[in-house]
Amino acid sequence: MTFTKLTSMTRLLCLVTTPALVVGQIGLEPTDILKPLAEQWTTYNGDYSARRYSSLKQINQSNVRNLSLAWVTRFTAGTGPTGNIPAPTGRGAPAPYPVVVGGLGTGEFNNGGSPRLGGGILMVNGVLYMSAPDNAWAIDARDGTILWQYYWKTRGGTHTGNRGMGMWHDNLYLEVHDDYLICLDARTGREKWKKEISSFEQQYFSSFSPLVIGNHLLVGTGNDMDSPGFLQSFDPETGNRQWITYTVPMNAGDKGVETWASLDAARHGGAQAWLPGAYDPETHLYVFGTGNPTPAYTTGRGDGDNLFTCSLVAVNVDTGKMAWYYQTSPHDTHDWDSTEAPVFVDAPFGGRMRKLVLTAQRNGYFFVLDRITGEHLVTGKMGLVNNWALGLDDQGRPRRNPAKDATIAGSIVNADITNFPAPAFSPDTGLFYAPENNTLHITYLMDPDPRGSMGLGGVSGGGALSYGSYIDAIDYKTGKIVWRHEISGTTGLLATAGNLLFSGDGQNLVAYEPATGKPLWHSRIGTAGNAPETYLLDGRQYILATGGDQLFAFVLNQ
């Protein structure tokens, strides 16, 4: 593997001479991540369960009406050779902060301006760590002061949203779209090391939120160029690779190769792992979702299931060895990744406590499995116009309706019903909460080449009609939707022990009653990038949410 010469030395551009010192302890012990979600927010999903259920209850149904703004901070993405980040201005403006410049590009591809804030935001020892494509920040969680900004001059790559950072002791880990994993010093934002994690030449692009599990750093990547998907584990200290697990068969005789037209088709079959999964410390199983098969929509993959695309996959975190898989969209023809969060819940099922994994996938189906064995337990259906499938097969998997596949003359079918914005589960209500989007559109086969198409270029949607967006509350025991609340735009969700459910409705940050979906409080902060978060600092509970290019923190002012 060769890549562009590493000429561009990382350099520190200090706008001020004072270093960004933070009072007190910095580092995050890996064992801290084992704690249930409460004071801190230590991973993309808050903790390993991905429930996004916080045990904090200072803010609760009786006082949520008093929730008010603690601080708001606006962020600017870097552009050009030095970042061109404007210093804070105006009366009472905070002090300028250091900008650390890295990257192998020139800065000409960095757009600057408003960053896309849509990842998980860490809160560790009073400091928030937030990322956007090619940018990262440390922020004082008490008052929103920016402590440092890291700016990466990109060489390009498909710039999806950046999903957030991982943390191990004083190290932060950021992926960038031209395929480096960067280890930053959490105290200063300076690079400790960086490592190429996938081939930019082969058109991988990396936006995953790295996940620390003990002495493993799990790293995913993405690709739309018919390249194989994989998950890797690195040593968090050195960046040396510990293992790599491909999500498609790579060799003759590999499990699943018979579900492809050929080994060559399998090796170009996609199944990218681009969102973090969940982890069970007792069994050491890490469960994650895989993306769509390539070429998407169309010819060239054979008629089989195309393993292990659009699947939940469980691997042993120490070895990367697959323990089980469950395919949620066999032989996907709609470009519906199954990368939505797998949510770990220990709850009664069939008369006994079971270790479950719950997930609502982009194909509009909700699944409950045994997370130790992968045994299928429940499939539920979401959506008002979910018409792509013909019921379920004997394993509870949706049976695709071939008549809804993209055709040259066009096929009218539902669009994806949920997507990356994070779901939540409340053990208090026993309900799983997920965003639901309802759209019919027309898909066209644009590349009927009998040799097989490529990538996603084979189709283009049009003629879209919206049937509204909702928050769904789903009973995990039955898969039935208990309530559905209409909103004008979906985002991720947060449930708390204060008997509250927080989400964005397209315009507002809203606190809902988890049992009913009734709005209890709101603030018009703009369109949220992903799920709200919460943390406890100095005895005060904060609710954190992005609105556009701003980060808002709310507290009880009594």
Partner 1 sequence: MTMPMLICYAAVGLLLELSSFAQAPAPAKPAAAGRSRTLNTTFPQQTRKLASPDVLARGKGLYSVNCSACHGSDLRGGDQGGPNLLRSLTALSDQHGELISPIIHGARQDKGMPAFHLSDADSTAVAEYIHSVLALVGPQARPPGKTGITDKDILIGNVSAGQNYFQTNCASCHSVTGDLKDVAARYKDPRALQNAWVAGGTVMGRGNAPAVAGRGKPSTVTVTFTNGEKLEGTLIRKDDFIVTLLLADGDRRSVSLESSDPPKVEIHDPLDAHCQLARNLSNDDMHNVTAYLAAIQ
Q: Which of these segments, 88-96, 324-332, 413-421, 495-503, binds partner 1 (CB under 8 A)?
A: 413-421
Please report how close the Cβ of residue 41 comes to partner 1 at its closest, in angstroms.
24
Q: Which of 155, 301, 355, 371 binds partner 1 (CB under 8 A)?
A: 155
**Which residues in 290-349 contact partner 1 (CB under 8 A)?**
291-292, 294-295, 335, 337
Q: Which of these segments, 37-45, 124-132, 320-328, 409-417, binds partner 1 (CB under 8 A)?
A: 409-417
Residue 87 near partner 1 by CB under 8 A: no
Q: Which of these segments, 119-127, 323-331, 344-352, 412-420, binds partner 1 (CB under 8 A)?
A: 412-420
- Partners of 118 in the beta sheet? none
End-to-end CA distance of the chain: 60
> What residue type is assigned to position 407 of the chain?
T
**Which residues in 267-286 contact partner 1 (CB under 8 A)?**
268, 270, 272, 274
**Which residues in 10-49 contact partner 1 (CB under 8 A)?**
none
Q: Is 280 or 405 the residue whose CB approaches partner 1 more closely?
A: 405
Q: How far apart are CA 452 and CA 256, in angstroms?
A: 20
Q: Which of these segments, 89-97, 107-115, 165-173, 370-378, binds partner 1 (CB under 8 A)?
A: 107-115
**Which residues in 385-404 contact partner 1 (CB under 8 A)?**
385, 403
Please report how close the Cβ of residue 411 comes to partner 1 at its closest, in angstroms.
5
Using CB under 8 A as the criterion, what x/- string covers residues 170-209 for binding partner 1? -------x---------------------xxxxx------
Please report how close the Cβ of residue 289 comes to partner 1 at its closest, in angstroms.
11
**Which residues in 427-486 contact partner 1 (CB under 8 A)?**
437, 439-442, 444, 446-449, 451-457, 460-467, 469
Q: Which of these segments, 38-46, 223-231, 375-383, 426-434, binds partner 1 (CB under 8 A)?
A: 223-231
Burial of 6 (0-12, 13-18, 19+ CB in 10 A): exposed
Q: How far apart are CA 318 and CA 284, in angstroms?
A: 7
Helix (H/G/I), strand (E/B), else coil: 104? coil
Q: Is 16 or 465 the residue whose CB approaches partner 1 more closely?
A: 465
Q: Is 3 or 71 the residue whose CB approaches partner 1 more closely?
A: 3
Q: Is 233 or 292 the residue whose CB approaches partner 1 more closely?
A: 292
Q: Which of 145, 160, 516, 550 binds partner 1 (CB under 8 A)?
A: 160
Number of residues counted as binding partner 1 (CB under 8 A): 85
Rounded alpha-carbon distances, angstroms, from residue 281 to 34, 47, 219, 224, 231? 8, 11, 18, 33, 19
- DSSP 8-state assignment for residue 28: B
Report which secondary-structure segment, H or E, holds 285.
strand 285-289
Contacts of residue 236, defined as CB under 8 A and 6 or more positions apart, other chains included, come to 168, 169, 171, 173, 212, 215, 216, 217
**Which residues in 487-516 contact partner 1 (CB under 8 A)?**
487-490, 505-508, 510
Asked if residues 209 and 222 have their Cβ atoms less than 8 Å apart, the reply is: no
Across 119-274, where does the E strand assignment appear? Answer: 122-124, 127-132, 135-140, 146-153, 166-168, 171-175, 180-185, 191-196, 204-205, 211-213, 216-220, 222-223, 230-234, 241-246
Q: Is 201 or 375 the residue whose CB approaches partner 1 more closely?
A: 201
Nearest to residue 234, comparing CAs of 188, 168, 189, 298? 168
Please report how close the Cβ of residue 157 comes to partner 1 at its closest, in angstroms.
6
Nearest to residue 372, comparing CAs of 358, 361, 357, 360? 357
Q: Is 441 or 540 the residue whose CB approaches partner 1 more closely?
A: 441
Q: Is 145 or 158 the residue whose CB approaches partner 1 more closely?
A: 158
Q: Which of 47, 305, 332, 416 binds partner 1 (CB under 8 A)?
A: 416
Nearest to residue 48, comparing CAs of 220, 320, 276, 239? 276
Nearest to residue 498, comparing CAs of 38, 67, 123, 54? 54
- Partners of 368 in the beta sheet? 358, 378
